[in-house]
Amino acid sequence: MAAGMALILGVVKVINLSHGAFFTLGAYVAYALAERGVESPLAAAPLAAVIAFAFGVFLGKSFVNPARAHPFALPVGTLACALLFEQAAQMVWGPHPLSIEAGEPWIGPGGLVIRQWGVIAFLSSAALLGGLKWVLSARPGLPLRLIAEDEEIAGSLGMDVEAIRYLTFGGACAMAAAAGALLSPSGAVTPTMGRAPLLLSLVVVIVAGMDSVAAIFLLSIGLGIFGNACAWLLSPQWSYVALLAVVCLLLSARPAGIVVLAGRRD
């Protein structure tokens, strides 16, 4: 999810506050499939990604691209889209929490508990990020890199910048929906479930910087471990506060993010 957010920030150059809504969409797709007897999040993730890609492309083409020139309008507009989706989800599925069976955990050596959905989600996100890293460093990712660096040069080279932008937006939305589908068995499915992941991925992207997929991946894991360590050592209520305090410290020390590639132009 954070990688998708970074893509949108880097290529489309907008803060997409509707990203959490696509996460929620993915979870509801998984729930809808589970209700029909298909209880595997792995089966739900591709379907959720396709649906979210279509919605994302529509949103990118009809709203994000035209409104891009007005930097203050986009966060408000994408937030409105997120609230609109939450309201629609509440009308379709109701406000009550829904749930998908998580399956029995695997018990490893020494009583180590290994969650099925956790392993699936981790491997899927690692594969997704690996693929993204490859795309960005190889020839197919050249237009994305060029647009992220300088849109005018990309345009002068004959690239369809507008199309690449909304396709990127759709792709990032698809990543958020896949994440939502994969993580849906972990808790309850509700219309507002995308809010917390949205905030956390925004934090991860801003702190990690948008230049390194590996940094985003490692920082996501690091912040997760840090939050749990604080909950264990201090109190569960302090984990969130402590995490945000560390984020503030990191940003005051390196406002451009932890990893900024050498030679990057601002």
Partner 1 sequence: MAVRTGSYPRLPFLLIGSASLFLHFFSLVLLADPTFAASRPDALKIGVLAPLSGPYAAGGTSFVQAATLAVEQANAEGGVFGQQVTIVVGDTQGRVDVAKAEALRLVSREKVSALVGAYLSEETVGVMEVAAAHRTVLLVPVAATAEITDLVRREYARYRYVFRVGYSLPQWAEMIGAFLSDRKVRRYAFIGAGIRWNRELGETLERIVGPQGIAPAYTAYYSPGNPAFDTVAVAAAAASPDIVILADPGRNSVSLLKRLREAAPALPALSIGGALGDARLAASIPLSAPVYVQAAAWRGVSPAATEYVERYEHRFGAPPVGYSDTLPYDAITVLVAAWRKAGSGATETVVAVLEREAFAGVAGMYRFDAAHQAHWGTGPGALRGTFVRWERGGARIVFPRR
* Residues of the shown chain interacting with partner 1 in the complex, contacts defined by CB under 8 A: 13, 62-63, 66-67, 69-71, 73, 77, 80-81, 83-84, 87-88, 90-91, 94-102, 104-105, 113, 115, 185-188, 190-193, 195-196, 199-200, 227-228, 230-232, 235-237, 239-241
Q: Whose Cβ is closer to partner 1: residue 91's or residue 214's? A: 91
| β strands within 57-193, DSSP E | 98-99, 106-107, 113-114, 188-189
Closest approach, Cβ 33 to partner 1, in A, equals: 14
Closest approach, Cβ 170 to partner 1, in A, equals: 16
Q: Whose Cβ is closer to partner 1: residue 132's or residue 154's? A: 154
Number of alpha carbons in the 13 Å side-chain half-sphere of residue 150 = 7
Q: To the nearest 5 percent, what fractions of the chain are helix, strand and coil?
A: 75, 5, 25
The helix/strand/coil state of 210 is coil
Q: Whose Cβ is closer to partner 1: residue 62's or residue 137's? A: 62
Q: Which of 200, 221, 209, 222 is nearest to 19 (CA)?
A: 200
Amino acid at 227: G
Closest approach, Cβ 14 to partner 1, in A, equals: 11
Closest approach, Cβ 130 to partner 1, in A, equals: 25
